[in-house]
Structure 1
Amino acid sequence: MIAQYGLPLGMVLVLLLGIFSGYPVAFVLGGTGVLFVLLTDLPNLFLGTMVSRVYGGVIANWLLVAVPMFVYMGLMLERSGLARNLLISLQYMMGGMRGGLALAVALLGLILAAGTGVIGASVVTLGILGLPVMLQNGYNKEIATGTIAASGTLGILLPPSIMLVLMGDILSIPVGDLFVAAVLPGVLLVGLYMIFLITVAIFRGDLMPAMAVTEKLTRLQMFIRMMRDMVAPIALVMVVLGSIIAGLATPTEAASLGAIGATILAATTRQLSWKVLGGTIFETGKITGMIMFVIIGATCFGVVFARLGGPHMIASMVDAMPFEAWGTLIMLLAIIFVLGFVLEWIEISYVVLPLFAPIVIALDFGLGLSTTEIMLWFAILVAVVLQTSFLTPPFGYALFYLKGVSPKGVTMAMIYRGAAPFVVLQLAAVGLLMLFPALAIWLPRLAFAN
């Protein structure tokens, strides 16, 4: 097999060496593709095919217009002060009990995820607003940092997730179906987080003491304040998702509604200024540019890899494995999980998913699902696995985001230890999704029954 598939194996080796060298991944992907055109017997005119694929598959792809608008929406919401007000309300509502602050952070992470879809914004916001308060109230540093990092990563799974938009494009799945399918798994994850936090609060209350409430408000007043602060972000999410589910707007059009709505909310909270608007647009351009360069580089790599027999190599390797359908699925997800230690979800999505998707479609799981439903289920499984890549060392980006805003005394080792239980919880969620595919399939069936 090595002799037969030496060229695609060489591409993978060069790709890994380039990534570990620290060179920008987008240029490593594209450069590897061009290099192997020049080193092999592929005609130089094949480079023209790569350009055509980049233009037709990336630049002219209308769906990808949603990416900068969803990024803008998340960043503008983060700057509008809505997250800060809501966290304060949740803190006072739940802070009087052991573990209450951690539960408030987890709930805010859920709301921010549904409102932003940008992990960097969610983790930084939760870190700035929640971590000092948790530490001041005597929280264990590992518990505090782990809760914030894990809650912040929900933004990559729950709609309007940028990852789901790109995965829909890669796997040719309607983005609306992916958005709806991700809701129950996202709620499942939050539920597992909260069960873990409540358990720790019950048996190790000293790690998560109750917050000293200084503002004298009744429970009813706290609840009214919390609901007031929740109305705006929830309304915006309902407009975005509701317009897609109802068939009134495409994901791209819904993203524009979200961007406009976030700007209006910032204006109503008197947080909209030329400085805020300019900074949001600048950051949106940076994030979008990074994503697009990776997509272009991955397209170049994928075209050459396929031409040199890469998909056949992967299929042969899988056929050689002594696994049935379920064993093969576990192996594929395990590969993605391990890759998450060293790669970002964008590279994994554009390099691995096009190779693994045909393999999964050909497997017989005995579930009675259609091909579309199998791909939808597989996409959600991959999405949850990829979410763990933000929490696993050495390149867990959520951990580095959090370290950047942590007070003195919070070390990287503490953050790593704090994230470990939540990685286990996320893998448990993957197991539940494998055992019960209806968690990913039932809601899309219900929403799009007609």
Structure 2
Amino acid sequence: MNEYAWPSLMLLALVAGVFSGYPVAFILAGTGIIFAVLADVPMLFLSMGVQRIYSGTLTNWLLVAIPLFVFMGLMLERSGIAERLMRSLASLFRSTPGGYAFAVAVIGVIMAASTGIIGASVVMMGMMALPAMREAKYDMRLASGLIASSGTLGILLPPSIMLIILGDQMRLSVGDLFLGAIGPGLLLAGLYFVYLAAVANFTPHRVPAPPTPERRSFLPTVLALARDLLAPALLILSVLGTIVAGVATPTESAAIGAAGAMLLAFVSRQLNLGVLREAMYETTKTTAMIVFVMIGASIFSVVFRRLGGDAMIVDFFDIQDSNPYWVLFTIMALIFILGFFLDWVEITLVVVPLVAPVVALLDFGLRSDQVMIWFAIALAVNLQTSFLTPPFGYALFYLRGIASDLPISVIYRGVMPFVLIQITALVLVILIPAVVLWLPMAAR
């Protein structure tokens, strides 16, 4: 039998299991155990998987930040602050072509930096902005694509659950990843604004201004916007500022953010037992899903490495004789294709541990720690695209759920320009590592 037969069969079994529709956590763990028995791996060896689950997942202090950040985002979404901010921005931009579109893009950045909950962001912006855009006779392809793509910024901009898991899997500082993601996140948002400005300038009929703009005093509108921006700005500062200043760890800053979001909900008179129960239920459900996938991935990876999977991956990329950027391109293309079918959690927990050691051996003219931070953020930009790519882009289904009268073909066509924008941002991040590294290196 070929020396890589067992790990190759494991990968094929994993792919078949994922497409069966069975829960991914059980597919990962079951595949690992079945192939350990088939390949005659000593059962005592599986105790390493148990130890890894206990020490790497269940008692990992860093992962406590996940439920805290999820809870923070849910409480902030229920406080009504984002809804008031959307109305203020829409009022400010109302009289200009593309006004609603610019408002959605701005609120997407603010929500991303204060909540990081993709489903909540897409649903909230869709419910508030889509009817107004439809009434203003916007091109529904552009409107749906913008809402879906702006809502996914939360998976990239800190505080991002994805960056916490990447930091844990790649043994990197979450604080460095948070700082490194700010540049690419703002770059991506800037490209959105450039695209919207081009549409408003060259094809204004797609984003028309109201025929009779509503007259409002400029100063009260600006003051209302500043008031609505204050709360999320303070929350962002309390979370990211404490990390950058070295006052708190990411886990401690997550606790600060959760407490701050509860306080904002209380001040907004939206905090009650029902809201608290619902937020805790959703937090528990999301955290349990992530932890169970991590447990399954731990069992799978332990057996996969025992059967020679690491050596197979290294030989596959042939890193000794290949151009490092060609290897990186191959990895990114693989992850981009997997994003059509798999969720970012599965890709992060299964694929990243396999390809990260390969990238660590490549020479990009950077220090090893810089290479891994740069690679992790490039991965995050790539994985963000998985929320938008058909047929299983989650943001597309969130939007479809609240706009059932909108044909799915319209949504698919609407996100295509934004997928191209995200690919452009990924290329820029790869070609210009300083976009990622300047802030983490300056903070050291």
Q: Cα deviations across residues 367-403 of structure 1 (Å, max 9, x unaligned)?
A: xx21111100000100000000000011100110111
Q: Aligned ranges for residues 121-132 of structure 1 at < 5 Å?
A: 121-132=120-131
Choose the corresponding residue for 1:414, options 407, 410, 417: 410
- CA gap of 1:267–1:215, structure 2 versus 1, over 3 A, is farther
Amino acid at match of 1:430: L
> Does residue 401 in structure 1 map to residue 386 in structure 2?
no
Q: Cα deviations across residues 394-431 of structure 1 (Å, max 9, x unaligned)?
A: 1100110111111x431111111111110000000011
Task: Give the unaligned 5+ runs of structure 1.
Answer: none
Matches of 1:403 and 1:289 in 2, distance apart?
A: 26
**Residue of structure 2 equivalent to 1:379:** 376
**Residue of structure 2 equivalent to 1:318:** 317
Matches of 1:6 and 1:237 in 2, distance apart?
A: 49
Matches of 1:201 and 1:256 in 2, distance apart?
A: 42
Task: Give the unaligned 5+ runs of structure 2.
Answer: none
Matches of 1:47 and 1:234 in 2, distance apart?
A: 48
SS of residue in 2 equivalent to 1:98: coil
Q: Which moved more, 1:281-290 or 1:319-328?
A: 319-328
SS of residue in 1 equivalent to 2:387: coil
**Residue of structure 2 equivalent to 1:149:** 148
Q: Cα deviations across residues 175-211 of structure 1 (Å, max 9, x unaligned)?
A: 0000011001000000001111111111111111114
Amino acid at match of 2:139: N
**Residue of structure 2 equivalent to 1:283:** 282
SS of residue in 2 equivalent to 1:445: helix
- CA gap of 1:213–1:444, structure 2 versus 1, over 3 A, is farther
Choose the corresponding residue for 2:420, options 418, 424, 435: 424
CA contact (8 A) 2:386 2:393 kept: yes
CA contact (8 A) 2:85 2:229 kept: yes
Matches of 2:265 and 2:279 in 1, distance apart?
A: 12
CA contact (8 A) 1:240 1:257 kept: yes
**Residue of structure 2 equivalent to 1:246:** 245
Q: Which moved more, 1:354-363 or 1:390-399?
A: 354-363
Matched residues, number: 444
**Residue of structure 1 equivalent to 2:367:** 370
Shift of 1:321: 9.3
**Residue of structure 1 equivalent to 2:172:** 173
- CA gap of 1:305–1:229, structure 2 versus 1, over 3 A, is same
**Residue of structure 2 equivalent to 1:99:** 98
Provide the TM-score with structure 1 as the length reference. Answer: 0.97
**Residue of structure 2 equivalent to 1:76:** 75
- CA gap of 1:321–1:146, structure 2 versus 1, over 3 A, is farther
CA contact (8 A) 1:37 1:46 kept: no
- CA gap of 1:365–1:145, structure 2 versus 1, over 3 A, is same
Provide the TM-score with structure 2 as the length reference. Answer: 0.98
Amino acid at match of 1:149: A
Amino acid at match of 2:392: F
Shift of 1:53: 1.1
CA contact (8 A) 1:101 1:211 kept: no
**Residue of structure 2 equivalent to 1:433:** 429
Q: CA RMSD in A?
A: 1.3
Shift of 1:215: 5.8
Q: Aligned ranges for residues 211-222 of structure 1 at < 5 Å?
A: 211=210, 216-222=215-221
SS of residue in 1 equivalent to 2:275: helix
Q: Which moved more, 1:117-126 or 1:57-66?
A: 117-126
Matches of 2:48 and 2:326 in 1, distance apart?
A: 37
**Residue of structure 2 equivalent to 1:33:** 32
Matches of 1:294 and 1:402 in 2, distance apart?
A: 25
Matches of 1:278 and 1:50 in 2, distance apart?
A: 34
**Residue of structure 1 equivalent to 2:201:** 202
Q: Which moved more, 1:380-389 or 1:215-224?
A: 215-224
Shift of 1:279: 0.5
Amino acid at match of 2:396: L
Matches of 1:270 and 1:204 in 2, distance apart?
A: 43
Matches of 2:204 and 2:213 in 1, distance apart?
A: 21
CA contact (8 A) 1:92 1:213 kept: no
Q: Cα deviations across residues 223-263 of structure 1 (Å, max 9, x unaligned)?
A: 11111101100110100001111111111100000000000
Q: Which moved more, 1:323-332 or 1:215-224?
A: 215-224
**Residue of structure 2 equivalent to 1:328:** 327
- CA gap of 1:125–1:213, structure 2 versus 1, over 3 A, is farther
Matches of 1:171 and 1:239 in 2, distance apart?
A: 26
CA contact (8 A) 1:18 1:28 kept: yes
Matches of 1:264 and 1:97 in 2, distance apart?
A: 36
Shift of 1:89: 0.4
CA contact (8 A) 1:15 1:29 kept: yes
CA contact (8 A) 1:95 1:212 kept: no
SS of residue in 2 equivalent to 1:182: helix
Matches of 1:276 and 1:360 in 2, distance apart?
A: 45
- CA gap of 1:314–1:213, structure 2 versus 1, over 3 A, is farther
Amino acid at match of 2:296: G
> Does residue 161 in structure 1 map to residue 160 in structure 2?
yes
Matches of 1:409 and 1:205 in 2, distance apart?
A: 25
CA contact (8 A) 2:319 2:327 kept: no
Amino acid at match of 1:421: P
Matches of 2:290 and 2:243 in 1, distance apart?
A: 23
CA contact (8 A) 2:33 2:299 kept: yes
